[in-house]
Each structure stands twice: as C-alpha cells, then as structure tokens.
Amino acid sequence: MSLWVDKYRPRSLDDCHYHPELSSRLKSLAASGDFPHILFYGPSGAGKKTRIMATLRELYGPGVEKLRIDQRVFVTPSNRKLDVNVVQSNFHIELTPSDVGMYDRVVIQDILKEIAQTQQVDLNAKQKFKVVIINEADSLTRDAQAALRRTMEKYMTNMRLIMCANSTSKIIAPIRSRCLLVRVSAPSDEEMATVLTHVAKKERFHLPATASESIIEASDGNLRKALLVFEAMKMQRPDLEGDIDVARPDWETYCAKVADMILQEQSASRLLEVRAKIYELLSHCIPAHVVLKTIADRIVDKVDDELKASVVHYAAHYELRMRQGSKKIFHIEAFVAKIMSVVKQYALMGMTEDWE
Amino acid sequence: MPPKKGSPSGKSRTNAAPKRMGSLSSFQPMLNFARVPSGGVSTSSPASASGSTSNATTGPSVRPASGRSVSGPVASTSKSMPPPPLPRRGQAKSVPAPAAKGRPATKSTGDKGKGKLKMEDNEVVEVISSDEDDMPKKRRRPAPSAGKEPAVDMDKAAMWTDIFGPETEAELAPGKARITKVREWLYEAIHGVPEAAVHSQGYSPSTARILLVTGPAGIGKATTVRLLASQLGIDLVEWTEGVEERHLGVGFETESAISKLSSFLSRNAYPALNLGLGASSSSQTQMHRPRALLMTSLPNIGHQATRTAFHDALLSFCHNYTPSSCPLIIVHSESGQGGRAEESWMDRERGGYEGILEVVGREVKDGPWCAEIEFLSLAPTFLTKALNRVLGLAISDPAKRPSPGAVQLISLSANGDLRSAINSLQMLCSGSVLKNKKRKTGESREKATGRGSRGGRGTKVDVSDEIRAALDAVTRREQSLNLFHALGKVFYNKRLDDPTTDNDDQEAIAAIRKLALDDPLPPHLGEFERRKSMVQMETFIPTIPVDTSMFALWLHHNIPQFCTDVEQVSSIMDDLCGADLMRTEDDIWQSSPQAIAYALHLTVRGTLMGLPSPVPRNHQKVVKPQFFESYHTERANTSLLDVATGHLARKAVSASIAYADGEADDGPPWGGTESKLVLATETVPMAVKIQSLSRKPLLPISVQPLALQPYSAYSSGMFLGEELSSVSRQGEEDESFDATAAGEDGLGVVPDARHPGLWDEDADGKQGKEQLGWLEDDDIEDFD
C-alpha cells in the first residue's frame, strides 16, 4: 500500500489541480523541441517535483516510468569513496548531490560529464538530449555550483538540467541567468480544498468542510503535509465529523509540550527536563533549527502580547548563532533559558526586558 | 659451552653500550615501560656481538622478548627470576651479580655472551628482515659494578621504568583478577585447554587465537604480558615497526610496512623449524618451547587501506590457525577518549578514533577466537606501592629516598599512569642527587638564589614547600588535574571571603590575598562586580585535562544544578554559546589555537561570572554529558532514515515500472526522491503514525527506532539530580499529566507508535541484501 500523497499524485501536467497557466507553459515548452535548462523553485510541498516528473513524461512519454535505482560510487581526490543513490531511466537521471556534503562537486562533475558525453542511442527517443534532475540545488556548495555553470554551456547539445530548490537566493547568479526560472508557488487554501475533496472523492467518502479547513490551517500551504495529515486523520476518526484533532507529526506535538513546560515553570531544574526532551528530538533527526522554530512558534502563541516581540527576537538571535556554531544543543538551550528568564521577569515585575 | 664466558664478554660490552644511547632513536625504546630482556635467540647475534651500530641489511624487526635464559646456554637470571614453571636444564649456573638490582644487567651480559657463542656455533635462528638491528643492544644498560653508588649510575644510564620492572607476579601493578585472566588465556592458548581443565576429559579444543589487552597508557599491560609469558615458559616474538626504512638506500626493494606485518603474522603462526644441527641441547629445548606473538605497536590503522589490510591479515591469521600455531597478543593503549567532543571531518573520514573494533575489525572481534581483557587505570594506592618498590630497588640508602609524602604526591598526580609516575620519581630523585653534588662542589654560586641551601638540606624534607616546589617543577606542570577536580573548581565558584571555607584552603586564600587588587569597575558595569575568585585563570587553564569543547560540554551538562536562578543559567548559556561560535572549524581564524584559547576563557570566565556566590551545596552529582549518546543515536537514526528512504523509493520505483509495463493501471506515479529534511519531519513521522492507525505496514521494522518515544512529562533515567526513589509515583503522574495536557491543549497524546506488530516485517527479509547499500552509514551528513 502506499500513502495517499503518492497514490493521488498527478501523473500528467493536465491532471494538476492548480497553476493551470504554469502547466500549459510547461507543455508548450516540452512540445517546442527547444527545451531550456530549468530551475524550479518554491516552498516545500508546493508540487515542484510532481511537475518536473510530469514535464518529463510530456517530453519522453511513458518510457520515463521505467525507473531503476543505482548505487554509484564516486572517488574524491582524497581517495575517499562516496556512495550515491541515483534514480534513473533511459532518458533522465535524478540525483541529490547535497547528500554527500562537501564532496558534491565530484558527484556533479562525474555524472554530468558521463551523461553529456554519451549520445542518445535510442532512435525512437523523442528528444536528443537527456535530462539531469538535481534535487536540493540550493544546498549545493559554491564549488559544485561553479562546476555546474561551466558544464551547462559546454554540453548543451546532449543534456538539459532541471534543478529543484526552495529559493533562488543560494544559487549563484550565473546559474540563475542560464536557467529558465519557474516558480511553483504554494497552493491557495481553495486550491488545497479542491485537492482534498478530489482525494476524498477518489477514496469514496465525504470530507466535511470543518475538517478540510482545519487540515488546511495546520499545513501552512504544504500540500504534502496536508495530504499526510488528512490520511492520518481519516484513519484516526473515519467519519471526520465534529470537533476533531488535527493529526500532527509526533515531534510537533512533542515540541509543543516542551514549549508548555517552559511556560509552566521557569527554573534551572525545569531547564534540565527540557534539555532531555530536546536531546530526544535531536536524536530523532529533527533538525535543530526546526525544533527551535517550532518551540518558538508555540511560545509566541501562548505568551502575552507584550512578550511576543522579544520571544521572536531571541528565537532569531539564537537560531543565527546556532547556524554559526557547532553544538546545536547549547544554542537551543540558551534560547530556552533566555525565554524562561524573560517570562519570569514579566511575571514578577510585569515588564519586559529592553532587548534592543 | 662454558657458561662462564658470558660474564667477561658482558663486561666488555658494558662499556660500549652507553655510547650508543646518544642517538635519539636508540633512546626511544628506553621509554618503554616494559623491560624486554633481549638477546640473541632470534636476533642477528653477530651484529650485536660485534657491536656494530648500524647493520642496515639484516637485523631483526622481530625480537623474541623473553625466556632467553632457557634457550641460551648462559644462565643469566636464575637469581632474580621467579622459579620457572617448567623444569629447565643447562642453565643452572648464574653469573655472580648483585642480587637486587643486578638482574637486568646480568641478563644483558648473558645475552651478549650467548650472542657471541651463537656466532661461533654458527647457529642460525630465524632472522627476519628488518631494520632495527641494534634493538637488543639499546635495551641494555651497563651493569652497575658493585660498590658504586647505584642511584647515580642508574639515572644516567636508563629509565627506571626499564630497569626496575616487576619480576614476580605479585609485583605487577594491575589488579589480580586481570592478571589471572591473562594468565589463564595464555595457558589455554598455548596448551589448548584451560589450566583448570588439563586433566578433565572431553574438553573442546580452545579457540583462543588473539588476546587484546587494552587500557590506558602506562599501567603495565605489556609488562604483565611479558612477565606472565616468561613465567609460563613462553617465548614472545615481538613485532616492531621499522622506522629506518629509508636508510636502506636505493636498489633495495622496500616492502610496505603492512605487507611486512602480514608476512610476519603468517610466518610466525607456525612453530619454528629446528634449523639447528640438532647437536646442542639448547636448540632442542628451544624446539619444545611454545611461542606467542606480541604486538605492542600497531600499524597506522588510521589509514583506511592499511586498516583493511591489517584486518585481513588478522582474519587470515585466525582462519589459518592450527593447534601448533602461536597465539597473538595485541597490547593496545586506548587513545582518543577524552579527546575532541565531536569527531571532526578528518577523524570521521579516517573512521573515528581507535576503538577496539577499529583495531581488529568486526569479523575478528565478533569471532570466537578473540578475547579482550581490559585493564583499568591504577588507583593511587597501587601506584604508591609500586613506586615504593621501585624506590627500594633504586636507592639502597633509605635516608636518601624522597619522603613518603612526596611519593604519595606523585602517585596522586599521575592519573593512574604508572610509567609516568616512575619517570617523575626518577626525575625527582636525580634532581636531588644533582643538588647534593652542587652543594659539595659549587655552593658559592648557588647561594645567591637560595637554591643551593634548599637542595643541600637533602632529600630528607617532608612534603613541605620545598618538595612541593620541586615536584611542581619536575612533574606537576606536565600533569593535569582530574577532570572532576577541574570541573569542581568551576562549579563551586569559590571566591574570597566566602562564608564557608575549609581549612585546606587557607594556604590558597593567602596566596590569592597577596595578589594585587582589581581595579573597581565603573558604575555602569556595577552588575559585574564580584569578589575575587579563588580560581586564577592563568594557573587553572593549563591544568584542565580535556580540550575546550569537551570541557564546555561537561560544564554545560552540569551547570544548571549549581545555579539558583534561571537568569544565572541563561547568562552562562549565553557565554557557552559565544564560546561555541568561536571554535567552529569552518575557517582559518576560527580553528586557530588563539580562538580555541579564547573560547576556553570565555567558557570558564562566563560560567564563574554567572554562577551564584557562594554556590549552594546540596550534593549535586556531576555526570557525563548526554551529548555523545544523543549524537550517536542521531547518526544511527540518520542511517535508518536512509533505509526508510530506500524502502519507499524501491516501492515507488517498482510500482512505476509495473505501470510502465502496463501491469498495473494506477500505480502511484514517481514523485522524485525527497530531501532528508522532508523525510525526517514530514514523511516518516506521518507514515509511522498512519501505519500505527491503519495497521497497514508502510515502513520496514528495522527503522522502528525512528519513532519518537511517547512524550512523558518526566525525563528518563538520564536525568540528573533527581532521586529515583519515586518510580511508581512518577508513572501515575505521567498518565494524569498526559490526560490533562490532552484536555488543555487539544494536541492529544503522542501515541506509542513503537508497537512491533505494525511494521513491515516482510520488507526487511525481502530486501536483506539490497538494503546494504542504503544501510551504509552516511557519514557525510553534515555536523556543522
């Protein structure tokens, strides 16, 4: 069985429920025969990869569905072996070079050269070029991006790049200027509601408006999250009627409870309890900045209006430090301690610290 | 052969030996704690006998380390050696030698004699290619001739650690239990059955192949092994790394160190053939003597290729083992513990610090043939005992020995390292000897500093200022405080005029009082005004036994319980953050030693500034930072995340192929691989949740640890300071809290998703092999 989020993923551009003008533009691009390098960008869960795959189907037909997973081994200049998993078909290859951290340049160069130097041998192929999909292009190192820039020009005949990123800000200007930038924005609430209703219809049940609203509210324009939450809720409470809890990921609930702990008591011993929870979260691969942000969000929701500004200020302050520093736990905990003392000051004296 | 020959020839060599000690390379082996009685059985005796210093072409890289006395025609050590367990012949006569400390010396003389004799006899005994031909010679030290002042002679000649090694089992410093274990292992490995079961029938043959002796440096691991081996009548064949490879010059085929090692292992796994002419009785006894291989220095296993080769060599050694082969003993000092807080890029690339797993490799470690005996660091009382013994041997005149207090001070400051303690002791004694001399000869010069007179008072001082000063100069500066001691200094934040001061502190207080007063702070900084701290940074910083980031972790983990207010914690945490920013590794400035030093200052000073004064004392317990455990779990979970990714991707891909082949109409379309962030925060947690609700397996059971523990308001056992007395009560409150929390915030209780029945158990079996690729620990994952 598969998750709804996979099951009801649109297969073709025509099936996409929102951004119809973008779909028609991509279709005409695929039909024109002059396909450019494309950089898809937009928030998480907006449908970038869905559209990339749909575009590929438009370009090559159902042949791209014949996928295989390969493990490729790359050797760095320092003779270290890197294993990278790539998904590919006869017409395209998909890789996530940022998985190998600072060695991404090696992976990029090797793969691109290999693809670029082999001609398409399938005479029935609709296009002469192959497509390389690069996931998480915004976390590529500068080196890798520079390597990319050069190959983009050099091997234009045999290869097209499709990159996928959350924002263009971390992508160097030369690459941006060589690509067609396609923004896939997050679906609006109505668009999301359409999608949810569509899924409900396919699953043959009725989705009440209240449930739909609460799902949409909980998922911040992230359609993937909305569908996951939707499925979990349906499993939890099959009728979906009445006042119903939104099924959130466990760690979000966990963070919210940690935030509540912080607000309940402000003391050194409470800080120790909070620390144990944070360690638990971190050891489950929840990124530290996500933990900090989620806790801060919850605290902002709960505290007095006068404190909101300083909570956000400190969240920003410590998140920056965390990204610069090396031990995440120090910074999250410093944030927690600071919030505790701010909340305590406010409760005792009814005033906020002047953080400016 | 007339045994007497040994001693005269030995005497002549006595004079030659010290000369060679000049060079650094020849000094090196002297630092080894264990005194290896060296000699000519398997070394190139001609070289050593002729006294030539460098013989580049042949020379033993392998030297038999003990039991020389048996095979050698010259009886050397019967006086001081423990009674040998096996009846031995042909060695009854002992060289007349001073009984107490003469043993090593006589031994060496014996060796020489033997060497020479061997040469005459033309008796060749395995000469294994090597480069350290003069190794045995280096081990020698001149025999103190009777009547000479031994101490003076001794400290010029060699390290006490070499000379006064233990001679009986009772004298060994490590604990009895471990010594017994080593002994039993040795016996079992050599004889095929445990000592206790020799006479019982039907005992299955032993699988003992490799013994790992681990533990901190300088606690007598190698010494124990050598001594026990000689007691059991086992010849130790020692592997030593060649260092003088380059001097071989051009034209020689240089064998890589690792291939040398492999051949060493394979060659020596077999009992030696009797190559002798069979005439001499000595060679016959030799044939029957069991042998064991000893490795105290390992190849550079930090290097990936070398390590793999080493593991392979060990594995094939285990596989090719026959009952007549020699067992292998690896003595390895644990290193890397207490090192860096998180392994840096470089370390991880090389595979992390040298745990025992890294040393021998997984297959060998998990196999039946490998045993590990871990030695612990020595308690000060053991050290004191051992030091007193050495002292008794070294300085015959009790009046000239340092006071018991001084010895105790040394053993306390040695951190369990006996070798370093003995070295310190020797330094101290040689110092006092020197001072004695000075007084006799040139007192006039020394008087100006007052040192002469102090030294002149001789070695008979109490543990007073003088000895303390001397010890500080000689030893303490290099030593470090115990970690907990250092942490305690910070945690208790003692300042001048604290209401409670122990009597011990008076001295220190007086010293602090003598310091100049600090300038008063300007009014706007008034909040930072503190009484003068008893922790003087300049003297404190160098005594911290761990590195900056480690120290910060310990402080961080334990500091909240020493604070009374959350504001204090907050200010301390702020400074820890600041220090953490300084010592990240991404650029040149930040990883520079200055930055690290500043970070340490900021850590300690910030903590002292933030702590209340005086710190309330309510039996706080200092515990190990949770950071490492969490970090390791995180890495394990990251690789599990890869497993989950692989599982989902394979399912999607196969569905996609089925669709393309027209086998299925509505396989879910491939949506591209998801990023780690999305997987960790959205897909996997939700998939866990959905499968726990729908009872349909989505993820393989092997990734089960990825599911969060259900939330509980109380922390698990890790937690410090909390009494664990109220376990049952705790459980009850747990539930009620969860219930109320659920009611209040509408978040619901985190369900326990760890129920095993929910997971895709087939998936694991099915993919077994495939999965390997994904299971590969992705150590690229940034730890920034």
Widest distance between CA atoms in chain A: 79
Nearest to A297 by CA among A284, A279, A312: A312
- Predicted local confidence at residue B108, as pLDDT: 40
Phi/psi at B38 (5° precision): -110, 165
Residue B66's closest CA among B270, B226, B255, B285?
A: B226
- Predicted pLDDT at B401: 74
In this prediction, residue B302 carries a pLDDT of 63
Buried b (16+ CB within 10 A) or exposed e, B186-221: bbbbbebbeeeeeeeeeeeebebbbbbbbbbbbbbb
Residues of chain A with pLDDT under 50: none
Task: Report DSSP letters for B301-346, one per residue.
Answer: TTSHHHHHHHHHHHHHHHHT--TTSPPEEEEEE--STT--SS--HH
Query: Is the sign of the CA dihedral B416, B419, B424, B425 positive or negative?
Result: positive
Residues in contact with A349: Cβ distance below 8 Å, sequence separation at least 6, in sequence order? none
Question: What does the alpha-carbon distance between residue B404 and residue B391 come to, in Å, rounded to a whole number?
Answer: 10
Do residues A296 and A263 make contact, with C-beta atoms less than 8 angstroms apart?
A: no
| A316/B contact by beta carbon, under 8 A | no
Q: Is B351 exposed, middle or buried (0-12, 13-18, 19+ CB in 10 A)?
A: middle
DSSP, res B533 = B
Cβ contact, residue pair A326, B342, below 8 Å: yes
The minimum CA-CA distance between A100 and chain B, rounded to whole Å, is 5
The torsion angles phi and psi of B370, rounded to 5 degrees, stand at -115, 125
Instruction: Report, as ranges of residue numbers, the positions in chain B whose pLDDT lies below 70.
Output: 1-157, 192-207, 240-258, 268-288, 300-304, 322-324, 334-358, 362, 413-415, 431-481, 500-505, 583-592, 664-667, 710-784
B696 → closest Cβ in A1, A96, A283 = A1
Look up residue B255 and give its two tokens: 């064998």
- Inter-chain touch B573–A338, beta carbons under 8 Å: yes
The DSSP line for A11-25 is SSGGG-SS-HHHHHH
Any idea how long chain B is? 784
Q: Taking a contact as any Cβ pair under 8 Å apart, which residues of chain A between 160 and 189 contact chain B?
A: 164
How far is A42 from B222, CA to CA, in rounded Å? Answer: 63
Measured between alpha carbons, how far is residue B71 from residues B115, B122, B282, B294 in Å? 12, 15, 5, 19
| Verdict on whether the full-model pTM lies above 0.80 | no
Measure A232 CA to nearest chain B CA, in Å.
5
B35 within 8 A of B163, measured Cβ to Cβ = yes
Rg (CA), chain A: 24
Predicted local distance difference test score (pLDDT) of residue B56 = 40
What would the two tokens of residue A161 be?
């790049």
Query: How far apart, in Å, are the Cα atoms of B370 and each of A313, B230, B236, B359?
Result: 57, 22, 18, 12
Of B653, B687, B709, the CB nearest to A67: B653
Q: Are B132 and B61 in contact (CB under 8 A)?
A: yes
pLDDT for A288 equals 92
**pLDDT of B216:** 74
One of 3.40.50.1010, 3.40.50.300, 3.40.50.720, 1.10.10.1100 is the CATH number of B174-194+204-241+256-269+289-376, namely 3.40.50.300
Pick from B631, B681, B698: which is nearest to A249 by CB? B681
Provide the shortest C-alpha distance from residue A290 to chain B (in Å). Answer: 9
CA B377-B383-B385 angle, 5° bins:
140
Residue B379 is predicted with a pLDDT of 79
Structure token pair of residue B540: 């404190």
Cα–Cα distance measured from residue A153 to residue B260, given in angstroms and rounded to the nearest whole number: 52
pLDDT of residue B128: 39
Three-state secondary structure call for residue B242: coil
**Which residues 203-262 on chain A approach chain B with CB closer than 8 angstroms?**
222, 224-225, 228-229, 231-232, 235-236, 245, 247-251, 253-254, 256-257, 260-261
Euclidean distance between CA atoms B384 and B404, whole angstroms? 9
pLDDT of residue B479: 47
Q: Where are the domains of chain B?
A: 174-194+204-241+256-269+289-376, 378-433+464-477, 490-519+527-624, 629-703
**ipTM, two decimals:** 0.84
Selected residue of B556, B565, B570 to mutate for chain A interface (largest A Cβ count, 10 A): B570
- Chain A residues with CB inside 8 Å of B565's CB? 268
**In terms of C-beta density within 10 A (0-12 exposed, 13-18 middle, 19 or more buried), how is residue B124 classed?**
middle
